[in-house]
Chain A
Amino acid sequence: DAGVIQSPRHEVTEMGQEVTLRCKPISGHDYLFWYRQTMMRGLELLIYFNNNVPIDDSGMPEDRFSAKMPNASFSTLKIQPSEPRDSAVYFCASSNTANYGYTFGSGTRLTVV
């Protein structure tokens, strides 16, 4: 089991550019979560999916953020346009209803300059 795979590991982009973060959950997991981690706010849940359907996106900070899960093995988080305050580590995690407790990916460190 390769675990939850996120790409890229690091992303540096200029303000105003579009950024796409990618996540491949563990096979068989039916929940997928996107979190953002910053020193100021800690871990914030942005959005989560169940069986590829978005369940709660109340944590998405603004319309510049969007997330999709076109199939059970892939999800994206897009920021358009990006701003310096979006700089953070973005984590994807997956789980299933039979076994509470998430498995996290290694994260994407985003720097917007």
Chain B
Amino acid sequence: AQSVTQLDSQVPVFEEAPVELRCNYSSSVSVYLFWYVQYPNQGLQLLLKYLSGSTLVKSINGFEAEFNKSQTSFHLRKPSVHISDTAEYFCAVSGGSNYKLTFGKGTLLTVNP
């Protein structure tokens, strides 16, 4: 079985500040890791994913996440946030031959002017 823990349910920050959204997972097999973003009244959109290779993965809008196997973490970071980054962010894990994703509870990122 696999699980995901997102340590913060809400993260308020000011515009242009750096942010880190934390994600820890547990799995007995090798994992694939994902971050999704959900804007109000919309579905989830894939932000970035780690499948193999480089442990640092990046999105087109400036977010990055690093897979840390020893700490079983996949934290999401952005050096400078914008108002438009306000959304809920979900970490998810898929492992082994089990193709289904298990999602964390989500972190609401609120960027204030």
Residues of A within 8 A of B (CB): 4, 31, 33, 42-43, 45, 48, 50, 56, 91, 93, 95, 97, 100-107
User: Is B49 touching A107 in the complex (CB atoms < 8 A)?
Assistant: no
A45/B44 contact (C-beta < 8 A), A100-B94, A101-B34, A101-B49 known: no
Looking at chain A's contact residues, is the secondary structure mostly helix, strand, loop, or mixed? strand
User: Is B44 touching A91 in the complex (CB atoms < 8 A)?
Assistant: yes
**Chain A residues with CB below 8 A from B51, complex form:** 100
Residues of B within 8 A of A (CB): 32, 34, 36, 42-46, 49, 51, 90, 94, 99-106
User: Is A103 touching B46 in the complex (CB atoms < 8 A)?
Assistant: yes
Instruction: State which of B43, B104, B105 has its C-beta within 8 Å of the C-beta of A107.
Output: B43
Complex CA distance for A41 and B107, rounded to whole angstroms? 14
User: Is A31 touching B99 in the complex (CB atoms < 8 A)?
Assistant: yes
Chain A residue at minimal CB-CB distance from B105: A42
Complex CA distance for A43 and B92, rounded to whole angstroms? 10
Looking at chain B's contact residues, is the secondary structure mostly helix, strand, loop, or mixed? strand
8 A-B pairs in the complex with CB atoms less than 8 angstroms apart: A4-B43, A31-B99, A45-B101, A48-B100, A97-B99, A102-B44, A106-B43, A107-B43
Instruction: State which of B94, B99, B100, B106 has its C-beta within 8 Å of the C-beta of A42.
Output: B106
Complex CA distance for A48 and B100, rounded to whole angstroms? 8
Chain B residue at minimal CB-CB distance from A33: B100
**Chain B residues with CB below 8 A from A107, complex form:** 42-43
User: Is A100 touching B43 in the complex (CB atoms < 8 A)?
Assistant: no
Chain B residue at minimal CB-CB distance from A103: B46
Complex CA distance for A43 and B94, rounded to whole angstroms? 14
User: Is A43 touching B103 in the complex (CB atoms < 8 A)?
Assistant: yes
